[in-house]
């Protein structure tokens, strides 16, 4: 697991700047006019800030970008991080600015002079989100630390002090934002963990530990799943030494008896493809195939941490897809909890088998007002949308629009994809009620059609195919490369707008 950087809000004290360790961050409006804090730094640094703000590099910088001005006179630390940010910045721009500071500061101590910037809380959130490093397995022997501030020799995070004019006020506003960051980190940690550590058992244990936050957590074991008739889900895990599990997390912050929103996640802790084995090249990336379950877990954590006034249930199917003497074979026919039979043409199309039973269970038990499932479901969605946007499939325009709006407000890319009976026909099987693949064409859509067969008539439902967005191979403004935590913020916002009035 990662260790987060600690961020504290303090009263502005201009006399503390000269002796500050590490970096001092100052905000400059696009017109280059120095505010109170920047003027003080400028005086200490013998005019270097005014010179920079009047120069060509500053003129070319985009809003939300930052530059490091190292080794300035009058400062005992590393230097100044100059950030171009207008006072009227919206929350996304302010987060980007915070992220830009974090990227430049790496692990060094940091003094952020936010003064009376109206978005100081959002700047701090961006700073927190970008100050993430999955460094649990960096032993720090001789390694100097990489560009993202990975652990160098014994290096810990320096403290980040954010100086503002009304620290109590800003700290109070940042409480729900830091709950959000914690949820995102929880998701990133789960997604980044290798599969020898994050087995189904370890995953379930980490979810059970959220009991202490006030979540009700139940773990359904294989015998329970067998009794419920979840043969589709169990078939995926039957080649693995790790037992299949379904974990149910309930947050009841809303009105007693009010139908919950259900979040359902694909939690394939490793996807070898099974007997339909994947090629070796890139197979290591399949440690992230539990990304849907990771997002569900992160959202539940955030809701609990900020004591959300909503009823939300999170259900994750935890399995490992391995080839083995007991593994399911291509051609096997399994009966789902719903009762429909499935011909398993390709054991690598396993996520939909897991979700079929998890979706059905969620609806049977909780009769939710809406269901949203998340899954690293298809390579096809990456072909369609790349790593920029999640594929959004929905049977309900109002719910879909609400989600797309929430995602946009949080800066998380999402794009609606079509559904339709012509796609559904590709799932017809000669021997069973359906087969689990619909051919190469429109692979992300036929996968969504498969899931829709396990959603009851008239129930609002969204399927989010996060295969491209759960993990990326380049740094993002608010995350170093690796697990992104995509979706935690959008879903938290959707819960606010949909369930918290």
**Under the rule (CB under 6 A), what is the footprint of ligand BES?**
271, 289, 346, 348-351, 376-380, 437, 443, 467
Q: How far apart are the first and last CA of the chain?
A: 35
Distances (CA, A) of 186 to 149, 296, 310: 19, 10, 20
Based on the residue annotation, tell me whether 278 is a catalytic residue of this protein.
yes
Among 122, 155, 289, 320, binds Zn ion (CB under 5 A): 289
Of all helices (H) and strands (E), which one includes residue 497?
Answer: helix 488-499
Q: Are 116 and 165 in contact (CB under 8 A)?
A: yes
Question: Minimum distance between the CB of residue 236 and ligand BES, rounded to whole angstroms?
Answer: 10
467 binds, among Zn ion, Mn ion, ligand BES, none (CB under 5 to 8 A by kind): ligand BES
Of all helices (H) and strands (E), which one includes residue 321?
Answer: strand 311-321
380 binds, among Zn ion, Mn ion, ligand BES, none (CB under 5 to 8 A by kind): ligand BES
Cβ proximity to Zn ion: between 285 and 500 the closer is: 285
**Radius of gyration of the chain, Cα coordinates, nearest whole angstrom:** 24
By CB under 5 A, the residues from 333 to 352 that bind Zn ion are 351
CA 355 from centre of chain: 19
239 binds, among Mn ion, ligand BES, Zn ion, none (CB under 5 to 8 A by kind): none
The DSSP 8-state label assigned to residue 269 in this structure reads E
Cβ proximity to ligand BES: between 118 and 439 the closer is: 439
Burial class (CB in 10 A: 0-12, 13-18, 19+), 108: middle
Cβ proximity to Zn ion: between 122 and 271 the closer is: 271
69 binds, among ligand BES, Mn ion, Zn ion, none (CB under 5 to 8 A by kind): none
150 binds, among ligand BES, Zn ion, Mn ion, none (CB under 5 to 8 A by kind): none
Q: Are 232 and 319 in contact (CB under 8 A)?
A: no
Cβ proximity to ligand BES: between 283 and 476 the closer is: 283
Question: Minimum distance between the CB of residue 191 and ligand BES, rounded to whole angstroms?
Answer: 11
Question: Minimum distance between the CB of residue 490 and Mn ion, rounded to whole angstroms?
Answer: 25
Distances (CA, A) of 462 to 5, 99, 310, 356, 444: 34, 30, 19, 14, 14
CA angle at 472 for the pair 176 and 238, rounded to the nearest 5°: 95
CA angle at 205 for the pair 318 and 407, rounded to the nearest 5°: 60
String marking each residue 267-286 x if it binds Zn ion according to CB under 5 A: -x--x---------------
- Closest-approach residue to Mn ion (CB): 348
Give the tokens for residue 181: 């960051």
Q: How far is the C-alpha of 145 from the C-alpha of 325, rounded, in Å?
A: 43
- Closest-approach residue to Zn ion (CB): 271
Cβ proximity to ligand BES: between 124 and 437 the closer is: 437
346 binds, among ligand BES, Mn ion, Zn ion, none (CB under 5 to 8 A by kind): ligand BES
Q: How far is the C-alpha of 246 from the C-alpha of 233, rounded, in Å?
A: 9
- Residue 366 makes CB contacts below 8 A (sequence gap 6+) with 259, 260, 262, 313
- Closest-approach residue to ligand BES (CB): 379
Q: Are 389 and 469 in contact (CB under 8 A)?
A: yes
Question: Minimum distance between the CB of residue 423 and ligand BES, rounded to whole angstroms?
Answer: 13
Residues of this chain that bind Mn ion (CB under 5 A): 271, 348, 350
Question: Minimum distance between the CB of residue 375 and Mn ion, rounded to whole angstroms?
Answer: 10
Question: Minimum distance between the CB of residue 289 and ligand BES, rounded to whole angstroms?
Answer: 4
Q: Which of 103, 188, 245, 352 is catalytic?
A: 352
For residue 451, the number of C-alpha atoms closer than 13 Å in the C-beta half-sphere is 33
Which residues is 6 bridged to in the sheet? none
Question: Minimum distance between the CB of residue 317 and Zn ion, rounded to whole angstroms?
Answer: 11
Q: Which of 278, 309, 369, 459 is catalytic?
A: 278
Question: Minimum distance between the CB of residue 439 and Mn ion, rounded to whole angstroms?
Answer: 16
Q: Are 372 and 462 in contact (CB under 8 A)?
A: yes
Cβ proximity to Zn ion: between 105 and 375 the closer is: 375
242 binds, among Mn ion, Zn ion, ligand BES, none (CB under 5 to 8 A by kind): none
Q: Which stretch binds Zn ion (CB under 5 A): 60-68, 101-109, 115-123, 263-271?
A: 263-271
378 binds, among Zn ion, Mn ion, ligand BES, none (CB under 5 to 8 A by kind): ligand BES
Report the b/e string of 28-49 with b at 16+ CB within 10 A.
bbeebebbebbebbbebbeebb
Per CB under 5 A, residues contacting Zn ion are 268, 271, 289, 351
Catalytic site positions: 278, 352
């Amino acid at each position: 697991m990662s260790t987060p950087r600690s961020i504290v809000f303090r009263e502005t004290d201009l006399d503390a700047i000269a002796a500050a360790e590490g970096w001092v961050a100052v905000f400059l409006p696009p017109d280059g006019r120095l505010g109170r804090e920047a003027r003080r730094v400028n005086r200490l640094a013998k005019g270097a800030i005014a010179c920079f703000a009047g120069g060509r590099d500053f003129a070319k910088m985009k809003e939300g970008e930052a530059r490091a001005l190292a080794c300035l006179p009058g400062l005992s630390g590393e230097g100044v991080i100059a950030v171009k940010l207008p006072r009227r910045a919206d929350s996304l721009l302010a987060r980007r600015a915070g992220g830009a500071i974090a990227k430049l500061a790496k692990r060094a101590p940091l003094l952020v002079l936010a003064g009376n910037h109206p978005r100081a809380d959002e700047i701090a959130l961006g700073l927190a989100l970008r100050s993430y490093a999955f460094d649990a397995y960096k032993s720090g022997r001789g390694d100097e630390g990489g560009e993202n501030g990975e652990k160098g020799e014994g290096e810990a995070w320096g403290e980040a002090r954010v100086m503002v004019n009304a620290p109590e006020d800003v700290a109070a506003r940042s409480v729900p934002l830091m709950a959000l960051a914690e949820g995102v980190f929880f998701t990133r940690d789960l997604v980044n963990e290798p599969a020898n550590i994050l087995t189904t058992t370890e995953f379930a244990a980490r979810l059970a530990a959220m009991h202490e936050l006030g979540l009700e957590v139940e773990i359904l074991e294989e015998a329970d799943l067998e009794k419920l008739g979840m043969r589709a889900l169990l078939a995926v895990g039957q080649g693995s030494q790790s037992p299949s599990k379904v974990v149910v997390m309930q947050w009841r912050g809303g009105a007693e008896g009010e139908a919950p929103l259900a979040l359902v996640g694909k939690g394939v802790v490793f996807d070898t493809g099974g007997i339909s084995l994947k090629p070796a090249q890139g197979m290591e990336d399949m440690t992230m195939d539990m990304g849907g379950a990771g997002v569900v877990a992160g959202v539940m954590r955030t809701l609990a941490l900020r004591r959300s006034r909503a009823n939300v249930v999170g259900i994750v199917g935890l399995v490992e897809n391995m080839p083995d003497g007991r593994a399911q074979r291509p051609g096997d026919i399994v009966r789902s909890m719903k009762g429909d039979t499935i011909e398993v043409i390709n054991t690598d199309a396993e996520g939909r088998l897991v979700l079929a039973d998890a979706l059905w269970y969620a609806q049977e038990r909780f009769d939710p007002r809406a269901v949203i499932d998340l899954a690293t479901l298809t390579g096809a969605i990456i072909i369609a949308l790349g790593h920029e946007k999640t594929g959004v499939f929905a049977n309900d325009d109002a719910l879909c629009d609400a989600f797309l709006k929430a995602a946009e407000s949080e800066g998380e890319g999402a794009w609606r994809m079509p559904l339709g009976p012509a796609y559904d026909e590709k799932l017809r099987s000669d021997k069973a009620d359906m087969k689990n693949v619909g051919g190469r064409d429109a692979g992300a859509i036929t996968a969504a059609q498969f899931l829709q067969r396990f959603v009851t008539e008239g129930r609002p439902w969204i399927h989010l195919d996060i295969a491209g967005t759960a993990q990326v191979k380049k740094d993002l403004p608010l995350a170093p490369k690796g697990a992104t935590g995509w979706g935690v913020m959008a879903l938290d916002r959707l819960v606010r707008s949909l369930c918290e009035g």
